[in-house]
Amino acid sequence: MALFNRPRLLDFKNSPPHLQFNRYVLSGYRPVSTFQECLRSLFYVHNESGNIYTHGIPFVCFLLLMPLSIPWSQKDAGWICVVHYMACLSPTVGSVLYHLFMNHKGGPAIYDILLSLDMFGVCLVNTLGALPIVHITLLCFPVYRCAATAAYLSLSGYGIYSAVTARSNVRRLRAFAWQALFRFFLFLLRWLGPGAGSPASLRLYLTMDFLALLGGLVNISRIPERFRPGRFDYWLNSHQIMHMLVALAIVYLHWGMLEDLRWLQSFRCDPSNH
């Protein structure tokens, strides 16, 4: 029975100072805890429960179900499948660890490491998730494909540095702007004609980026809790809404990549491009 004993939860003013980043969440804070106590918090309700499970449940689903739909044996697409699978898993892993252990007794030092890990997971889905898109979009233009891949990796390196060193949600969201603009340029190439890829995947990728952007904007705006402080302390606050939108964005990324992989099986480039 001790496993399920809930400690006395704290209000905003009495919570650890490094956890006082959303002044509209007024209650439900866990006290400073050991590693084991953080793990036990999986089994009672607090104001991080929704954040843990809105990415924890998708992680388990992605981990177990995505491999069933990925064409691992498809010729010349093995690396795409591996990179895509890693991209889909990466943001949920870092997020769960961050929200589960953020009140660890190690204090701000441990918190900063966990936050950087969370941001690194988000950067990975932006980086790894786009590499197959770059490859397929410029499939018939190998020189441009190599240059675009190098450029995107450079932007990703800058984005990772900016995200893990940012000190506000606005700056963290801004860190991914150049990557998003680069992807939009690739989508324009597909729409206008020179770029390759499944016609059905473009709409899915655009939906993916729209959902991710919407989630980021909801998170920095603190909606809906800013209108009813204390009302959304446990469920359906802005961060949880962002988590659900991000998980849905990953699903659209997966659907788009499956469309591209099906298209890739029968497409052949004009030899004059090589």
Residue 88's CATH number: 1.20.1070
Q: Answer whether residue 137 shows pLDDT above 80.
A: yes
Mean pLDDT of 102-108: 96
**Which two tokens mark 80?**
């795409």
Among 127, 47, 49, residue whose Cα is nearest residue 83: 127
Mean pLDDT of 121-141: 93
Provide the number of structural domains found in the chain: 1
Residue 4 within a domain? no
Residue 179 within a domain? yes
User: How high is the mean pLDDT of the chain?
Assistant: 92
Residues at the annotated binding site for Zn(2+)?
A: 99, 239, 243
Residue 55 within a domain? yes
- Which pLDDT value is given to residue 150? 95
Residue 22 within a domain? no
Range of the domain at 78: 31-267
Q: Answer whether residue 3 shows pLDDT above 80.
A: no
Count CB-CB contacts under 10 A for residue 265: 11
Residue 15 within a domain? no
* pLDDT classification of 1: cutoffs 50, 70, 90: very low
* pLDDT classification of 224: cutoffs 50, 70, 90: very high
Asked whether the CA dihedral 140, 142, 143, 146 is positive or negative, the reply is positive
Of 14-18, 157-161, 191-195, give the range with the top mean pLDDT: 14-18
**217 exposure class (CB count in 10 Å sphere: 0-12, 13-18, 19+):** middle
C-alpha–C-alpha distance, residues 216 and 119, integer Å: 13
Q: Answer whether residue 136 shows pLDDT above 70.
A: yes
Q: Which amino acid is at 94?
A: G
pTM value? 0.92
Residues at the annotated binding site?
A: 99, 239, 243
